[in-house]
Amino acid sequence: MLATPLCELSSLAAMIPHGAMVAVPSENAGVAMAATRELVRRAVRDLHLVCVPVGGLQIDIMIGAGLVATVETSAVTLGEFGSAPRFTAAVREKRVRVVDATCPAIHAALQAAQKGIPFIPLRGLIGTDVLANHPDWKVIENPFQADDPIVLLPAIRPDFALFHAPVADRNGNVFVGRWRELLTLAHAARRTLVTVEEITERDLMEDPQLSVGVIPALYVTAIAEARYGAWPLRFGDQYPIDQAAVGRYVVAARTEAGFQDWLRDWLASHAAQMLA
């Protein structure tokens, strides 16, 4: 652990080395887009991304920028904006390895790591192509009931969890509210890196209204303040998705040249300036 969990955004991003397994949440639960920009600036390579449980704009950008070797996910999509163009191109050109999963499988495997157990059973996979293409998933007979096969999934233990949250205090406690999957991520990962909209002087664990939605500092490695740190994506009730910005990305990212032009502009931008 650091002497203090608070650091600059560039220092937080610098903690993720080449080849790390990094777990990131879906766009409904706080995507650390400002930290993603710093990772692209650093040109980190060969990352294994675990989408919890699906990926979107963040994943597409990281793949397009050449950061990713493997994506473990149940889907990568831009939702109402359509398919993820850089992900689609990379899969077609075999520049990225995709480990196909299901939403329940990813959550269950993370819960195994959270509980400190090497594997976890899960139903609903037998007979699917997902199981057929997962040699690391094992089918066994239920030891407590005859003729009842069940699938065992190995635990997913990420090197890092990376996400954006509303607020943290100077002790390292992070408020995530109803996004309980972020608590699972923090428990499952070896190190947890968080960007937040603000740092508060009050102790979040001392507030009975907030403490139930707080990840204790014990599970948090580093925190960086990043105002509008999820932009251009929606962040809870604090700000909506920037439809125009995402729309511009989708048009640009249809081609490699267009994506590279967009990337140069994005790396030169700052979310707080864009939304001020």
Instruction: Say how many domains are in the chain.
Output: 2
Reported pTM: 0.94
Chain center to CA of 233? 13
Asked whether residue 79 is assigned to any structural domain, the reply reads yes
217 and 250 housed in the same domain: yes
pLDDT above 80 for 211: yes
Please tell me whether residues 223 and 243 are part of one structural domain. Answer: yes
In this structure, the answer to whether residues 198 and 89 fall within a common structural domain is yes
Q: Quick: pLDDT tens for 109-123.
A: 999 999 999 999 999
Of the chain, the end-to-end C-alpha distance in Å amounts to: 35
Whether residue 260 sits in one domain with residue 125: no
Any idea what the CATH number is for the domain that residue 166 is in? 3.40.1080.10
Q: Mark whether 148 and 230 lie in a shared domain.
A: no
Instruction: Say yes or no: 63 and 149 in one domain.
Output: no
**Does one domain contain both 165 and 47?**
yes
Distance (Å, rounded) from C-alpha 249 to C-alpha 253?
A: 6
Q: Does 167 fall in a domain?
A: yes
Instruction: Tell me the pLDDT band of 271, cut-offs 50, 70 and 90.
Output: low
Q: What is the per-residue pLDDT across 212-261, written as a single tens digit (0 to 9) for each?
A: 999 999 999 999 999 999 999 999 999 999 999 999 999 999 999 999 99
Same domain, 70 and 173: yes
Domain that holds residue 146: 119-154
Domain shared by 140 and 216, yes or no:
no
Whether 205 maps to a domain, the answer reads yes
